[in-house]
Amino acid sequence: MLAAAEHCTAAVAVGGALYTWGHDSQDDHHQGRYGRLGHSYGHDVDVPTIVGDGLEGKCVVSVAVGRRHGAAVTSDGEVFTWGEYIYGNPGPDAPTLVRGVLEGKRILSVSAGTDFTTALTSGGEVYTWDCGKCGAPGSEGFGDIDDLADSRTLVGGGLVGKRVVGVSASDSHSVAVTADGEVFSWGEGDSGCLGHGNEEDVLTPKQVEGILTGLHVVTVAVDDMHTAVVTREGRLFVWGASYDFSLISTRTLVPTLVGGALADKRVVGVSVGDSHMAAVTDAGECYTWGSGEWGRLGHGDTEHRFTPTLVTGALSGKRVVEVGAAASGGLHTAAVTLEGDLYTWGGGEWRAAMEYGFYSDLCKLGHGPIDDEEWYNVPRLVSSRMKWSVDPRLLVWSRATHLRFPRAFRDTVGALILAVNCTASAVVSVDENPWKILFETQ
């Protein structure tokens, strides 16, 4: 399981231990000392380091990181958060259990915006808390950007009576997928990121219709002004700000099918970064497109790619099972293979990073001290003795009769399934939403 943001990266090892690394020291850009790593407050960490305090003996099944904070879900359905909440409101330096209205509920996953956190329960409910910026929490009204909501709020609007199976949050909008494959969005509408055919803000969840009507969406990913969804047939739709910087119009107001190299591929996963996007196919191929600045696309250069392009290099012959494009201003990308190996790239050539004052930010790649001018724009293995786990929702590899768990992750996947009260031997059709199956077999 991966999570990547502007200044840090997080991953879960086989067995459920959480590791984070990245930038947290004080700097001239005032981007440090937030406690975003969950350990080593005020210090940079350039290799994967375990998050111990607060999570001792816990098995992490979901992780999310924002600009200034992080959140994790454990196998017993509890949520822990750490880091700064919003604009000078300090939070815990180490993971701390979230209580209140979430007590007694089993949480399945979390997503982090810059100033708030979103959690999905086993009952298909969505809760948000912290800043009410831009209506991102989905409660009635926008709220004041400087208000810190102490209570955890149940998201209503169009989600009332719906069972949500997936949710993704950006700095300014959120998108949810229901068990019926419907998509709902709310928050700021800049560049058409809500998919409603305009740029108007929406205070509470509203269904995205148009070309998605009648299709069954199974997963969603968002960043500030971008949204992407994947259907159970493996088709990828995107909307919001365009990655084609040569166009006069740099926005797409409604869901649009991604073609090009993905036209005949079955997409099983997608991640949306600040200025780039990454997708994984059922063949384990990783495709990226968007801004090539700082080497974030992994193609050996800094050129822009306006259509999906296969990432090769160290990933050639590997089967990628999960990818994370750093959101919230992020300049890097991470990927986990079927063998449990972790690769990262991007962040910029080290001399340029030093010139711009971002050298400490290269810690988020996890490669230790860096003095190589060529490493940054191609995938590079994060040297580590541990193997990394993946999101079980992504382990669907063919159109065969049954859902398959790759041998390398069988034990881990079994543990993750049991974490949401499912049996590891459940047999299901790959044409169903994996998260829906998790709910229905409790």
The residues, any chain, with a CB within 8 Å of residue 324's CB and separated by 6 or more, are 2, 3, 4, 9, 271, 278, 333, 334, 335
The DSSP result for 389-435, as a single string, is ---GGG---SSSSS----GGGHHHHHHHHHTTT--TT----TTS-HH
| DSSP structural state of residue 42 | T
158-161 contacts: CB < 8 A, separation 24 or more? 158/184, 158/204, 158/205, 158/206, 158/207, 159/126, 159/184, 159/205
| DSSP structural state of residue 314 | G
Type of residue numbered 92: P
Q: Which of 347, 345, 344, 285 is nearest to 312 (CA)?
A: 285
- CA–CA dist 24, 22 (Å, integer): 7
Asked whether the beta carbons of 19 and 48 are under 8 A apart, the reply is yes
The residues, any chain, with a CB within 8 Å of residue 53's CB and separated by 6 or more, are 38, 39, 94, 95
Between the alpha carbon of residue 197 and those of residues 141, 217, 371, the distances in Å are 22, 19, 47
3-state class (DSSP) for residue 323: strand
- CA–CA dist 245, 141 (Å, integer): 34
Burial (CB count within 10 angstroms: exposed 0-12, middle 13-18, buried 19+), residue 432: middle
Reading the block at residue 299, the tokens are 């193609």
- CA–CA dist 140, 398 (Å, integer): 42
- CA–CA dist 113, 96 (Å, integer): 18
Type of residue numbered 329: G
Asked whether the beta carbons of 171 and 110 are under 8 A apart, the reply is no
pTM of the model as a whole: 0.85
Reading the block at residue 90, the tokens are 């300090």
Between the alpha carbon of residue 189 and those of residues 132, 292, 318, the distances in Å are 16, 25, 38
Type of residue numbered 438: L
In 145-215, the DSSP E strands lie at 148-154, 164-169, 173-178, 183-187, 202-207
What is the full per-residue pLDDT of the chain (442 aa) written as tens digits?
899 998 899 999 999 999 999 988 766 555 667 888 999 888 889 999 999 889 999 999 999 998 888 999 999 999 999 987 544 455 677 899 988 888 889 999 999 987 789 999 999 999 998 743 443 444 443 333 334 344 568 899 999 999 999 999 988 899 999 999 999 999 999 999 999 999 999 999 999 999 999 999 999 999 888 999 999 999 999 999 876 644 445 788 999 999 999 999 999 999 998 889 999 999 999 999 998 988 999 999 999 999 999 999 999 999 999 999 987 667 899 999 999 999 999 986 666 666 665 656 788 999 887 766 666 889 999 987 789 987 765 544 333 323 333 433 333 333 333 222 222 333 333 333 333 333 333 2
Q: What is the 3-state secondary structure (H, E, C) of 50-94?
A: ECCCCCCCCCEEEEEECCCEEEEEECCCCEEEEECCECCECCCCC
